């Protein structure tokens, strides 16, 4: 029986429940980007284009460092969804307490890692000298908040795995308002520039983490968190890692390809970095909206796989796939139509806007392919497969992008040739993922059918 905030994923019509589950996820993603956009606008307008570029120059490196650990939250979500769907509540409790303990350990490791490698890695990426000190300063402060950031994300993954997407949204809204207020105080009032944005982020993330921990402690159902039970159960951590580490490794290698692309963008100078940063922030609105269907596919597939309802799993893929395609096309084409007006929100520099438009013209019309790829990956991981989607993604997306940079981009050193690597890699990877999905789903269905008849 689903609780007040939870959605029953195992019975009844799927489409209305998918929409009901996805909408708070999408709203949370858009709100998160709005808060990040507020960061960028405050920095760009009140600290200058160099500060804007400095924050943007760190994004791919930050994602590279945190993706391995964030992948473990995916593994935790899959394990929790399986146990919840199967009604195995003792194992569910162990999974929850192990996941929270993992978040704290991983957060501490990231905090230390960020302090040590920020400067040498940003130099290695060829970050322009005029923004390098600001980038290093921002990144070192930002990584002080890793423990609370991971605590929130693992806690949100627990709630979403059991069908609750509403409360993580409420907590994010609260933290986001705090973040905006602190941005204005730190950047405009105290003239802290990029450090002010980083501190505002840390404090707001601490608030959201506190709210989600409070929610889990007060939970009266099988997802109750008890601080005295926090532990790193070896067997459970191993199960989480089997799905989570390949997912995290995939994200990290994706980030490596993005680091290479960011390094290539850096070769065009500080104006290009700022234009790319502003456009990427807009791009994030489309991506986060589409990625909500990836998370939906992961949770619905996880619970139905745990309950051995493979017929519903294939329906989940088709429904999420159609929804993500429509979302990507509508948002991407709308964003392209209003591109100049949207980019002008971030900066009044015409050269920066013009560079952002060059990326937008290639990415936005084809972005739905990325969403379709992500939905297929979500279903595969929800079924418990992680090595295969990781391998396909590494070869089809990351490997292709690296090869493209070394060949096509080297031969024609233009931003357009660099950005073409994105839609081509999405198309290749999406097609292969979908083929693998239906092959594996059919085999799993046949196995379960034989198991029941036997």
Residue-wise pLDDT tens digits, 160-193 = 888 888 898 899 889 988 988 998 899 888 888 8
Query: What is the pLDDT confidence band of residue 448, given thresholds at 50, 70 and 90?
Result: very low
Query: What is the pLDDT confidence band of residue 248, given thresholds at 50, 70 and 90?
Result: confident
Domain assignment present for 63: yes
pLDDT at 394: 81
Site of tokens 């104006």:
271
Instruction: Report pLDDT digits (tens) over 188-235.
Output: 888 888 888 889 989 999 999 999 999 999 988 888 999 999 988 999
Domain assignment present for 140: yes
pLDDT at 256 over 90: no
pLDDT at 454 over 50: no
Q: What is the DSSP letter of 385?
A: -
pLDDT at 447: 45
- How many distinct structural domains can be found in the chain? 1
Phi, psi values for residue 223, rounded to 5°: -95, 20
DSSP 395-441: IIIIIHHHHHHHTHHHHS-SHHHHHTHHHHHHHHHHHHHHHHHHHHH
pLDDT at 451: 45
Domain assignment present for 194: yes
pLDDT at 3: 56
Contacts of 374 (CB under 8 A, 6+ apart): 290, 291, 293, 294, 324
pLDDT at 446 over 50: no
Question: Could you give the C-alpha distances from 361 to 334, 336, 419, 446, in angstroms and in order?
Answer: 12, 7, 10, 45
pLDDT at 152: 94
What three-state secondary structure class fits 128? Answer: coil
Site of tokens 């081509």:
424
Instruction: Report pLDDT digits (tens) over 372-384.
Output: 999 999 999 888 8
pLDDT at 357 over 70: yes
CA separation for the pair 314, 445 (Å, rounded) = 10
CA separation for the pair 213, 225 (Å, rounded) = 8
pLDDT at 329 over 80: yes
- Say what angle helices 270-306 and 59-86 make with each other, to 10 degrees: 10
pLDDT at 453: 43
Domain assignment present for 128: yes
Domain assignment present for 95: yes
Question: Could you give the C-alpha distances from 388 to 303, 393, 412, 434, in angstroms and in order?
Answer: 20, 9, 33, 12
CA separation for the pair 126, 66 (Å, rounded) = 21
Domain assignment present for 156: yes
What three-state secondary structure class fits 390? Answer: helix
pLDDT at 1 over 70: no
Domain assignment present for 3: no
Reading the block at residue 74, the tokens are: 């995916």
pLDDT at 216: 94
What three-state secondary structure class fits 377? Answer: helix
Question: Could you give the C-alpha distances from 117 to 110, 250, 299, 363, 425, in angstroms and in order?
Answer: 11, 21, 35, 31, 29
Domain assignment present for 9: no
Kindly report the average pLDDT of the chain as a whole number.
Answer: 86
Instruction: Report pLDDT digits (tens) over 52-85.
Output: 777 877 877 787 778 777 888 888 988 998 898 8
pLDDT at 445: 55
Q: Which of 309, 289, 294, 253 is nearest to 380 (CA)?
A: 294
Q: Is the dihedral of CA 198, 203, 204, 210 positive or negative?
A: positive
Site of tokens 């520039």:
193
Question: Could you give the C-alpha distances from 76 to 110, 214, 250, 454, in angstroms and in order?
Answer: 19, 19, 16, 31
pTM equals 0.78
Domain of residue 65: give its range: 15-453
């Amino acid at each position: 029986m689903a609780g007040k905030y939870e959605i029953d994923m195992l019975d009844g019509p799927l489409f209305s429940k998918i929409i009901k589950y996805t909408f708070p996820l999408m709203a949370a993603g858009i709100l998160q980007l709005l808060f990040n956009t507020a960061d960028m606008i405050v920095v760009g307008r009140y600290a200058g284009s160099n500060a804007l570029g400095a924050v943007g120059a760190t994004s791919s490196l930050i994602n590279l460092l945190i993706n391995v650990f964030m992948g473990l939250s995916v593994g935790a979500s899959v394990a929790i969804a399986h146990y919840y769907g199967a009604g195995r509540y003792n194992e569910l409790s162990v999974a929850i307490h192990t996941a929270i303990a993992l978040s704290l350990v991983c957060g501490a490791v990231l905090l230390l890692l960020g302090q040590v490698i920020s400067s040498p890695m940003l130099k290695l990426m060829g970050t322009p000298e005029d923004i390098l000190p600001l980038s290093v300063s921002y990144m070192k402060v930002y990584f002080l908040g890793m423990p609370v950031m991971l605590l929130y994300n693992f806690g949100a993954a627990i709630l979403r795995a059991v069908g609750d997407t509403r409360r993580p949204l409420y907590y994010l809204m609260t933290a986001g308002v705090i973040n905006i207020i602190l941005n204005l105080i730190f950047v405009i009032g105290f003239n802290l520039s990029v450090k002010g944005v980083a501190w505002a982020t840390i404090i707001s993330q601490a608030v959201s983490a506190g709210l989600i921990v409070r929610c889990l402690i007060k939970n009266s159902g099988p997802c109750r968190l008890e601080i005295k039970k926090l532990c790193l159960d070896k067997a459970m951590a191993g199960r989480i890692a089997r799905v989570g580490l390949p997912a995290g490794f995939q994200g990290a290698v994706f980030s490596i390809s993005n680091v290479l692309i960011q390094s290539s963008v850096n070769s065009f100078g500080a104006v290009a970095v700022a234009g790319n940063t502003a456009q990427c922030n807009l791009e994030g609105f489309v991506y986060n909206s589409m990625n909500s269907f990836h998370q939906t596919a992961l949770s619905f597939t996880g619970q139905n796989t745990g309950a051995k309802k493979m017929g519903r799993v294939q329906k989940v893929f088709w429904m999420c796939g159609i929804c993500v395609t429509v979302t990507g096309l509508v948002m991407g084409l709308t964003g392209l139509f209003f591109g100049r007006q949207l980019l002008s929100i971030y900066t009044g520099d015409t050269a920066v806007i013009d560079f952002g438009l060059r990326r937008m013209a290639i990415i936005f019309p084809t972005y739905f392919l990325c969403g379709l790829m992500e939905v297929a990956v979500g279903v595969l991981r929800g079924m418990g497969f992680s090595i295969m989607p990781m391998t396909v993604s590494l070869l089809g997306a990351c490997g292709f992008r690296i090869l493209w940079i070394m060949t096509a981009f080297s031969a024609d050193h233009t931003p357009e040739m660099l950005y073409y690597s994105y839609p081509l890699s999405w198309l290749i990877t999406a097609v292969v993922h979908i083929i693998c999905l239906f092959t594996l789903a059919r085999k799993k269905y046949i196995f379960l059918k034989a198991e029941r008849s036997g």
